[in-house]
Structure 1
């Protein structure tokens, strides 16, 4: 924010300008232009709206997997989203430990592969609880056995499948399909080192101990659906759906309303004296010819042209044309 000058400073500045002591060009040169550095090796492709929407989606996901893990492990588990940030794939790979559990999966219409990383401390606690332990003891870093991998693969399969439920409000995604499980991050070469990714980090509280899981979404995976990651578009879709539902409900209610339809065969003018002399069997001459179309009224408004006739033993009107073509807009 620019510095606010006092009245005395403003007066002194105006005096210097009027006396010639200070030129306007010199005053302009004193203003410093702030330049923001941009690293072309790490392009910022995700906008603030994209990051905000990803945060909303995965905040909902954290609540879903909290319930899933609590039921699966039969102990209280709390999962909270910690951060959503844009980094390069190389930075992500260097930030996670070795060994770790790195699961690669696909989820259409998101293209390419998405990465799900489970921190070793999280994995060892889950394994200990599922194998009958309490999950309280400390764990030493070691290589994962084939049994460990098979057990955690099933756990991760359940965690990853819940992404479909978290994304359903903004995008209809298919059931995630696991492609590979790797313990050495350096061996995963699915993306170029400088490829921008969105890193979503969760903290997991199991038996009074914190651990972490990460979801790494490459920019290439969501490039085609970026327009749906704008919050305004998200709520606009909800509003449109709500408006369409309301419109259909109103139409259904209107369809059961009874309206009066009558045919105007013709008109004539009578004096009061002629009217008083009318008796049963008298004939009144109308303005219309017998072969001319008659007006059909809905309520008190004339909408159609028709032709009088009989339908079996009943009298009826055949609609010939619409008097006001704009009436079709209300159909």
Structure 2
């Protein structure tokens, strides 16, 4: 860092410049320092900050969904919230996972490859204990997972993974398909050690205990759909051409609607015997006066008041008023 000049030193320099005793080129200059940013080629940053932010928003909604799901399944108040979203290598993720644990490998169609969902032993055994009638108070359980344990937690894990469809529906339409359930993470070789992954960490609070869940999404799986993770695209308005097409389709659909329209001049009642004796020229007296408007029905619903007349050589009606039954009903 350059030395800070006192006021007396500044005055001396200005005086020397004014007297010509010192040329401007002779003033000491601060050495230019080149900023260097460290970059690890073994762990390239493939997810941008925008992608990470989008994943955080999507899975924050996912956390709320599975909170309700777990609460309903185990009949205990469960709070799940997202903690971090970060990019690491697959090797770093595997080394951070305990052994044994519950590692579910599944597909997110149409994404490529496999996605991993890890439920640590504390969470898994707590869920199993509650579902088997226990209190779920045991925090640390040091044992291997039995086949019964795996079957129980498999159903819970499958339900959690299935809820990803709801969390992603506004971004991408996906389907989930469970492939395997492993308890030894070291045996899982679905990805290369240096492959970049997005690691999403959730905290699950059941009672007084906090445990963690991890969702590991490989970069290769989501690479073709990175444009879906640009949040500006979620709120982008449609092109005017698309709007014009939509309006034309709506108008065209309305044009093809056929409805039954009836204009009622009035009503009367006669005996069947009189009806059978009717001949041309007979007159029937209706219950409406000539000066009163007639009723117009649309699909048997009274909608308008009108007056009869002619349109060219055809008989027609002229609409006088609209009958708003819904308004009258509200009043």
Query: What is the TM-score normalised by the length of structure 2?
Result: 0.68
**Aligned-partner SS, 1:189:** coil
8 Å CA contact 1:64–1:162 kept in 2: the answer is: yes
8 Å CA contact 2:128–2:153 kept in 1: the answer is: yes
What is the CA-CA distance between 1:99 and the residue it aligns to?
A: 0.4
For 1:13 and 1:116, the matched residues in 2 are separated by 68
8 Å CA contact 1:81–1:200 kept in 2: the answer is: yes
Find out whether 1:218 has 2:221 as its counterpart: no
For 1:31 and 1:15, the matched residues in 2 are separated by 27
8 Å CA contact 2:125–2:141 kept in 1: the answer is: no
Find out whether 1:20 has 2:26 as its counterpart: no
What is the CA-CA distance between 1:173 and the residue it aligns to?
A: 1.1
**Aligned-partner SS, 2:201:** strand
**Aligned-partner SS, 1:111:** coil
What is residue 53 of structure 1 aligned with on the other side?
A: 54
What is residue 164 of structure 1 aligned with on the other side?
A: 165
Alpha-carbon spacing, 1:14–1:130, altered in 2? closer, same or farther (3 Å) = farther
**Aligned-partner SS, 1:212:** strand
Within a 5 Å distance, the mapping from 1:220-299 to structure 2 comes to 220-236=220-236, 239-240=237-238, 244=243, 248=247, 252=251
For residues 29-68 of structure 1, the C-alpha deviation after alignment (integer angstroms, 9 at most, x for no partner) is 6121221100000000000000000000000000000000
Alpha-carbon spacing, 1:251–1:197, altered in 2? closer, same or farther (3 Å) = same
For residues 88-137 of structure 1, the C-alpha deviation after alignment (integer angstroms, 9 at most, x for no partner) is 00000001100000000001111100000001100011000000011113
8 Å CA contact 2:139–2:209 kept in 1: the answer is: no
For 1:179 and 1:173, the matched residues in 2 are separated by 16
Alpha-carbon spacing, 1:16–1:99, altered in 2? closer, same or farther (3 Å) = farther
Question: Which ranges of 4 or more aligned residues in structure 1 deviate by more than 6 Å?
Answer: 9-18
Alpha-carbon spacing, 1:81–1:21, altered in 2? closer, same or farther (3 Å) = same
What is the CA-CA distance between 1:20 and the residue it aligns to?
A: 3.1
What is the CA-CA distance between 1:72 and the residue it aligns to?
A: 0.5
What is residue 194 of structure 1 aligned with on the other side?
A: 194
What is the CA-CA distance between 1:12 and the residue it aligns to?
A: 7.6
Alpha-carbon spacing, 1:32–1:241, altered in 2? closer, same or farther (3 Å) = same
What is the CA-CA distance between 1:248 and the residue it aligns to?
A: 3.3
Count of residues paired in the alignment: 251
What is the CA-CA distance between 1:250 and the residue it aligns to?
A: 11
8 Å CA contact 1:16–1:22 kept in 2: the answer is: no
**Aligned-partner SS, 2:125:** helix
For 2:182 and 2:53, the matched residues in 1 are separated by 30
For 1:80 and 1:104, the matched residues in 2 are separated by 22
Alpha-carbon spacing, 1:208–1:248, altered in 2? closer, same or farther (3 Å) = farther
For 1:207 and 1:103, the matched residues in 2 are separated by 25
RMSD: 3.4
What is residue 183 of structure 1 aligned with on the other side?
A: 183
What is residue 65 of structure 1 aligned with on the other side?
A: 66
Alpha-carbon spacing, 1:137–1:15, altered in 2? closer, same or farther (3 Å) = farther
8 Å CA contact 1:103–1:181 kept in 2: the answer is: yes
What is residue 91 of structure 1 aligned with on the other side?
A: 92
Structure 2 unmatched runs, 5+: 256-312, 315-331
8 Å CA contact 2:101–2:121 kept in 1: the answer is: yes
What is the CA-CA distance between 1:208 and the residue it aligns to?
A: 1.2
